[in-house]
Amino acid sequence: MATKCFVTSYELCLKQQLIDLKKEGYSDAFMDQMQPHIKISDWYAPRSDCASEYELCVELLDQRENLISIFQPDKALFLYENDEPWCQMTHVFKDYGPGVRFIRFTQGGNDTQHWAGWYGIRVTNSSVEICPAKERSHFQATHT
């Protein structure tokens, strides 16, 4: 599936992106009045020869980067000699209230056998979509 991905190692490896909605073209008034759905997506996969875990945390933040809403599912644990394909994690933020100005997207994981090298979880095709109800147009910020 993926040609490029973020690969983790034996210690916890996380990457984080802070999305400034105003810099992406969304006014304060639009975010407060429309409160568009905010859809997040992330793809992840373990290696077949090493146990690993994946974690994700997406936060909606106000202008001072204080927390408004959070999506942080339980860590996904993959056992040694698994045959798991690429998995997709999705979530849609709805009815979160006014004041959202930033989205902080953090993901990663590690291999749980502590092997030297890059044997941990792989992550790719991460995205955030702003989905206004009326227009259904969207902004998509993707990072790999």
pLDDT tens column, 59-87: 999 999 999 999 999 998 888 666 678 89
Confidence (pLDDT) at 141: 54
pLDDT tens per residue, range 23-56: 999 999 999 999 999 999 999 988 888 889 999 9
144 or 122, which is more confident: 122
Q: How confident is the model at residue 128 (pLDDT cuts 50, 70, 90)?
A: very high
Domain range for 87? 6-143
Tell whether 1 is covered by a domain: no
- CA dist., res. 109 & res. 52, Å (int): 7
Identify the pLDDT of residue 120. 85
> Is 100 part of any domain?
yes
Residue 57 counted as domain residue: yes
CATH classification of the domain holding 85:
2.60.120.260
Q: Domains in the chain: how many in total? A: 1
The closest alpha carbon to 103, from 24, 49, 33, 30, belongs to 24
CB of 84 closer than 8 Å to CB of 47: no
